[in-house]
Structure 1
């Protein structure tokens, strides 16, 4: 299955001077993406986990003219366009940023660089960002309803109206959006895949690249977060459950975020004197792990919204952020999407069309001046209508809503 990222990132590599960094969860499809782009552009692919590739990379650090890797890439050859090289999981090399900085500074005119990784690749070095101005960062997400069902129009904020694939939403609910279990749609395979992925993430990826003294306790925290999807994070409660300090819980959740296991959604409090300001809500990148049906539905919508705000921001369409709304007197709406630091979209998630519109949608829209306020209903059939044309809160079928996103 070709992802919509492929053509767009390939065009970026051809037209922009900057390197491209693509990060995202383990097994979301980054390696397949890199290999597809390399194949189409007749480039070279190197994986840090491959011993021979790792040797070539390390040899090229000190030898910038005769290194085997640079000869394979062809940076010293006369070409019609820049040579392309893709580095997979290079972030596992402790000096990866300086390595790429050196390549870019020496061969900016001859070399297009794509680097992928299953941990965050947008973190600054202490003392400043040595890669400032040298890269664009894209975050790769699991499959979404739109990506499965219809083509993506680049440079367009909201996608055109299109009917979704008839079975896609149910498949996404049951098997999540990671390509392999989604495409197989087999419960036994899914169960085995999930167990193995969790072990590899915690006991290999995180353990091998970070100093965590008790990795088993971190695994327990990951399980607790799975049970608390959509809930406000209580650091002290989690600390008592695992018998570690609050600071340790904060650090471990940040670590799980950096490896794309979970993400926090912070409260919006600008122009709301009574709004909560500190406690975030937690969601999983793989919503299929959430057992409670209502919480899973909310997590699925959260993940689709996060994919949209990341793509819109990474693609240069503005600065978009995902928040939630809650006041001290218990007024609440599930999600707020801000555009350039202004409220733009309010989203409330409900299961049944018989449930009335959340009155807080009206209240928050009046208070904040958000352009759109939608109550997304999970068990409501698709309607071929533009939900973003309504100026006031309206019930929207989930498929109608999700098909307008990426």
Structure 2
């Protein structure tokens, strides 16, 4: 069992709110984490993909009111969006009797339906926690390379060997395309969506060009943008927006796009070994996406993420606007001899961040230039995670 860093945050939110939604892609470990939470308090678990459990909720208010002394865990809650209205009534009646927190834990593997329904019915009554796949702070230091290759889905990372991990990821992709996405509503041919997903993997970390992707698929630009929206809502792809700073420069306005799990990048491209990844042009983009996801997982709540690029070549891979408005600039390098390029320093001059780092695959931390530090990815992730409890270090 791998301890998850989000367990403490999830417990805190349950002690504060009557309902908490734990969101994340399928197989990220939501159910396992919910079971660990349930061990410490009276609880009831219902899997809404099970016909038997769904039948229990034919009259949800009648059934759930009989269990108001328990934490009710509703797995795959987006399968029954009509539940949210009933939950609102149960929560409001419970509040009048002093039941103000820890009533419902809602697990969802897609944000689009869940957020839409809960936003309408449970405003002010619900908190959201996102559970990402395993991060590098949750695995041994010597396993970072394996985590990059296999990705963070627990069954992929813990597979007996690289071949078994690759087979798991291929079946994960197929299941999403052929079963999960059609069950959520969109009617998109599985092969078309796979081609689109694979095209995003080929361009990992690149600017989103809807027209170019649309030509490759034989669809229009609006359709390509809709496909992207779907994969973003499923928490499988990240759309990183540019920072529109008030500078007298021509800024790039298109978002950068990343397949969020590095193991899925490699599976979509048929790269089953470390040697295959290192020999492929996607290696740099894959590493950049891997580092970016780990840093965003570690960043304090309410942090905002951007990138910065001008038409003249000034660029910063990741800008973190931390709570309080402080700005951290991060350049991401894969090698052991990190050297920021001129564009990084030009961008720093434009934006004047409070702190600047070059995150690389080594472990030593040392100054590269005035106000610029080279730092290992794992250490930088730990530094960001520590800001939650020590905000004075920002």
TM superposition score category, shorter chain reference? 0.7 to 0.9
| CA shift for structure 1 position 42 | 2.3
Partner of 2:136: 145
Does structure 1 residue 173 correspond to structure 2 residue 156?
Answer: no
Which residue among 124, 128, 132 is the counterpart of 2:116? 124
Question: Which of 185, 188, 203 lines up with 1:210 in the alignment?
Answer: 185
Contact 2:366–2:373 under 8 Å retained in 1: no
Shift of 1:356: 2.6
CA contact (8 A) 1:325 1:335 kept: yes
SS across alignment from 1:58: coil
Q: Give 1:220 shift.
A: 1.4
The answer as to whether partners of 1:372 and 1:391 remain within 8 angstroms in 2 is no
Per-residue CA deviations over 1:257-298 (Å, capped at 9, x if unaligned) read 111111110111122332435311111121123342211110
1:334 CA drift (Å) = 1.0
Report the counterpart of residue 98 of structure 1 in structure 2. Answer: 85
| 1:392 matched to 2:367 | no
Correspondence for 2:13: 12
CA distance in 1, matches of 2:318, 2:125: 33
Partner of 2:357: 374
Distance 1:355 1:16 in 2: 43
Q: 1:40 to 1:125 in 2, by over 3 A?
A: closer
Shift of 1:215: 3.4
Inter-partner Cα distance in structure 2 for 1:129 and 1:89:
18
Distance 1:357 1:223 in 2: 30
Aligned counterpart for 1:295 among listed residues 285, 291, 307: 285
Judge conservation of contact 1:268–1:275 (CA < 8 Å) in 2.
no
Kindly report which structure 2 residues correspond to 1:130-279, keeping only aligned pairs within 5 A, or say none: 130-149=121-140, 165=141, 167-184=142-159, 186-279=161-254
Deviations 1:184-225 (A, max 9, x none): 351121111111111121221111112324333122111111
Asked if 1:23 is matched to 2:2, the reply is no
Please list every run of 5 or more consecutive structure 2 residues that lacks an aligned counterpart in the other structure: 267-281, 386-394
1:172, distance to aligned residue in structure 2 (A) = 1.1
Change (3 A) 1:286 1:30: same
Q: Secondary structure at the match of 1:404?
A: helix
CA distance in 2, matches of 1:371, 1:275: 23
Aligned twin of 1:331: 314
| Equivalent residue for 2:347, pick from 357, 364, 367 | 364
Aligned residue pairs, count: 364
Q: Which secondary structure state, in structure 1, belongs to the residue aligned with residue 253 of structure 2? A: coil
Q: Mark the CA change 1:120 to 1:362 in structure 2 (over 3 Å): closer, same or farther.
A: same
Q: TM-score, normalised by structure 2?
A: 0.85
| 1:83-128 per-position Cα deviation (integer Å, ceiling 9, x unaligned) | 21111101121323323223322334446111011001663359x7
Contact 2:249 2:310 in 1 (8 A): yes
Gaps of 5+ in 1: 76-81, 150-164, 314-318
SS of equivalent residue, structure 1 residue 283: strand
Distance (whole Å) between structure 2 residues aligned to residue 250 and residue 353 of structure 1: 37
Normalised TM-score (structure 1): 0.83
CA–CA distance in 2 between the matches of 1:51 and 1:255? Answer: 26
Higher RCO (C-alpha 8 Å, min separation 6): 1
Does the aligned pair in 2 maintain the 1:265–1:280 contact within 8 Å?
A: yes
Instruction: Tell whether the 8 Å contact from 2:328 to 2:353 is kept in structure 1 after alignment.
Output: yes
Distance 2:17 2:122 in 1: 13
The 3-state SS of whatever aligns with 1:297 is helix
**Aligned counterparts of 1:193 and 1:70: Cα–Cα separation in 2:** 40
The answer to whether the 8 Å contact 1:377/1:398 transfers is: yes
Shift of 1:170: 1.4
SS of structure 2 residue aligned to 1:210: coil
Contact 1:343 1:368 in 2 (8 A): no
Distance 1:386 1:177, change over 3 A: farther
